[in-house]
């Protein structure tokens, strides 16, 4: 009679441990996104600013990178202005094309010990890839 009780108790403990492990994994994931998200945003904005300058001087484009605050900026001079902002609590990068109203977001995720921005199944392996994706929106 105690055999089934022992088995039931073991199942309960295993489920509880599994739930606790999952909660800890999610908490670690969220902490990683929070701690790495701001520096990833700064890196992304730096790459986009550098790319705008490079394209303007070497590719006969006239892209202007205009920061409007620490967590927002606009790229002008392409086919239409592209507004980018960082949703600070979630670290999501939100983009919006002004004239067509097209918009989207890049949600940060953790891949090993690196912050990445997956978009529709594509995972940008670097900030350069994410910057390139966003800059292609204005051409």
For the chain, what is the domain count? Answer: 1
| Residues 31, 80: Cα–Cα separation, whole Å | 36
| Residues 57, 20: Cα–Cα separation, whole Å | 54
What's the mean pLDDT in 10-23?
93
Q: Using the 8-state DSSP alphabet, how is residue 108 labeled? A: -
The total number of residues shown for the chain amounts to 139
1 Cβ neighbours under 8 A, 6+ residues apart:
none
Q: Each residue of 102-135: pLDDT tens digit?
A: 898 888 888 888 888 876 666 676 778 888 888 8
What integer pLDDT is reported at residue 56 of this predicted model?
Answer: 84
Residue 79 confidence class, pLDDT cut points 50, 70, 90: confident
| Residues 39, 117: Cα–Cα separation, whole Å | 13
Range of the domain at 50: 2-138
Query: For position 118, which CATH number holds?
Result: 3.30.920
């Amino acid at each position: 009679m105690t055999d089934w009780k022992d088995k039931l108790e073991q199942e309960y403990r295993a489920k509880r441990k599994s739930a606790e492990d999952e909660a800890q994994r999610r908490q670690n994931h969220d902490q990683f996104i929070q701690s790495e998200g701001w520096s990833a945003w700064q890196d992304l904005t730096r790459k986009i600013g550098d790319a705008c300058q490079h394209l303007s001087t070497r590719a006969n484009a006239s892209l202007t990178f205009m920061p409007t605050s620490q967590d927002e900026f606009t790229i002008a001079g392409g086919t239409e202005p592209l507004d980018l902002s960082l949703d600070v609590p979630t670290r999501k990068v939100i983009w919006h094309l002004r004239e067509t109203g097209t918009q989207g977001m890049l949600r940060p995720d953790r891949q090993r010990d690196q912050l990445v921005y997956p978009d529709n199944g594509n995972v940008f392996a670097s900030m350069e890839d994410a910057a390139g994706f966003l800059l292609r929106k204005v051409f």
